[in-house]
């Protein structure tokens, strides 16, 4: 799909005035948006974003569904403690605690970037809680890590680039989108708002370093567990909306999703990048709404 509609941009496109609720965890408070009533749609962001990534989707769905968007610990409006296990296993445990706290059932899980691994880590453990899936440029299995991301992993260089210069978050504002005119100053400020200081960026760097590349990392074994468990979910409805110009989660990942979930409904947008909801939200939301209706 390549048709492109004009986005109004400006302040309205960057509005994120939803109230957040607090879930105390051991060592941190996780904050989340919980808007509307009905069947739950649980939206999980990745790195270096936060609930702001889903701001328009919350608005689009809260009239018909319960739209829930947590900020992982260390991200967005959640606490950013100095001493914390910012790992895939811990983020998945936090998500499971949130699901139990809210007593969520028949969940539609929406995932992007690291949200895929975090969300599917819980889904393969407790598949009875999940009804359907919406996949946006993410993975729940191993894949190639681009050089420009690997460069942010070494101790000194990573600290300087990611935490000192906020380079990971800032670079994404241009590298992760195709239609850069949509990244207005207000939108850019929205993405950067939770990561103003060196201390605020510890989880951003931790996510990069936790990318599983070696069996010496615990996250490597978590991904193995997810890969093994994905077959338990094959019968569930899945909608895949994919940005075809994503330098990180490229078409090799899309093909792996297709292989593992051959019945998934797939829409590839050849003029969208990693931040697919910035490049193509006005084309994606009708697809999501129809998917929710058709699979009711």
By residue range, what is the domain housing residue 274? Answer: 19-294
Residue 9 lies in a domain: no
* pLDDT reported for residue 10: 55
- Long-range residue pairs from 249-253, CB within 8 A, at least 24 positions apart, any chain: 249/113, 249/137, 249/138, 249/139, 249/143, 249/274, 252/143, 252/144, 253/137, 253/138, 253/139, 253/143
Average pLDDT for residues 12-35, to the nearest whole number?
Answer: 95
Catalytic residues: 113, 246, 274
Residue 2 lies in a domain: no
Does the structure show a pLDDT above 50 at 196? yes
Residue 11 lies in a domain: no
How many domains are contained in the chain? 1
Model pLDDT for residues 84-128, shown as the tens digit of each residue: 999 999 999 999 999 999 999 999 999 999 999 999 999 999 999
Helices within 160-261 (DSSP H only): 167-175, 185-192, 202-209, 218-229, 251-260
Q: Give strand pairing partners of 42.
A: 68, 109
Residue 130 lies in a domain: yes
Residue 56 lies in a domain: yes
Of 278, 213, 273, the residue nearest 247 (C-alpha): 273
Residue 279 neighbours by CB distance under 10 Å? 26
- Candidate from 27-41, 201-215, 256-270 with smallest mean pLDDT: 201-215
Determine contact, residues 3/283, Cβ cutoff 8 Å: yes
Residue 154 lies in a domain: yes
Residue 210's contacts (CB-CB under 8 Å, 6 or more residues apart) are: 86, 87, 88, 217, 219
Q: pTM here?
A: 0.94
Does the structure show a pLDDT above 50 at 134? yes
Residue 8 lies in a domain: no
CATH of the domain at 231: 3.40.50.1820
Average pLDDT for residues 186-198, to the nearest whole number?
Answer: 97
* pLDDT reported for residue 11: 57
Structure confidence at residue 5 as a pLDDT band (50, 70, 90): very low
Structure confidence at residue 293 as a pLDDT band (50, 70, 90): very high
Q: DSSP secondary-structure letter at 31?
A: E
Average pLDDT for residues 62-83, to the nearest whole number?
Answer: 97
Q: Of how many residues is the chain composed?
A: 296
Average pLDDT for residues 164-169, to the nearest whole number?
Answer: 92
* pLDDT reported for residue 290: 96
Residue 26 lies in a domain: yes
The angle that helices 114-125 and 218-229 make with each other, rounded to 10 degrees, is 60
Of 110, 99, 113, the residue nearest 49 (C-alpha): 113
């Amino acid at each position: 799909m390549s048709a492109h509609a004009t986005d109004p941009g400006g302040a309205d496109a960057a509005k994120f005035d939803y109230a957040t609720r607090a879930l105390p965890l051991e060592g941190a408070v996780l904050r989340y948006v919980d808007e509307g009533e009905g069947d739950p749609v649980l939206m999980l962001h990745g790195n270096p974003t936060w609930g702001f990534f889903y701001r328009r989707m919350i608005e689009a769905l809260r009239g018909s569904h319960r739209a829930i968007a947590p900020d992982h610990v260390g991200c967005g409006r959640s606490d950013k403690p100095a001493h914390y296990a910012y790992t895939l296993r811990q983020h998945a445990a936090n998500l499971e605690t949130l699901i139990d706290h809210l007593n969520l059932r028949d969940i539609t899980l929406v995932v992007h970037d690291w949200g895929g691994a975090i969300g599917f880590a819980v889904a393969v453990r407790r598949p009875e809680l999940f009804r359907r899936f919406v996949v946006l440029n993410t993975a729940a299995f191993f894949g190639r890590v681009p050089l420009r991301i690997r460069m942010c992993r070494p101790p000194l260089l990573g600290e300087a680039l990611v935490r000192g210069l906020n380079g990971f978050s800032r670079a994404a504002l241009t590298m992760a989108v195709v239609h850069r005119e949509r990244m207005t100053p207000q939108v850019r400020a929205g993405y950067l708002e939770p990561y103003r200081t060196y201390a605020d960026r510890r989880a951003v760097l931790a996510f990069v370093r936790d990318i599983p590349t070696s069996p010496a990392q615990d996250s490597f074994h978590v991904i193995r567990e997810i890969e093994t468990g994905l077959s338990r979910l094959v019968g569930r409805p899945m909608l895949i909306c994919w940005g075809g110009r994503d330098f990180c989660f490229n078409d090799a990942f899309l093909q792996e999703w297709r292989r593992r979930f051959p019945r998934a409904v797939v829409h590839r947008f050849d003029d969208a990048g990693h931040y697919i909801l910035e490049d193509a939200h006005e084309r994606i939301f009708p697809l999501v709404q129809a998917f929710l209706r058709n699979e009711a």
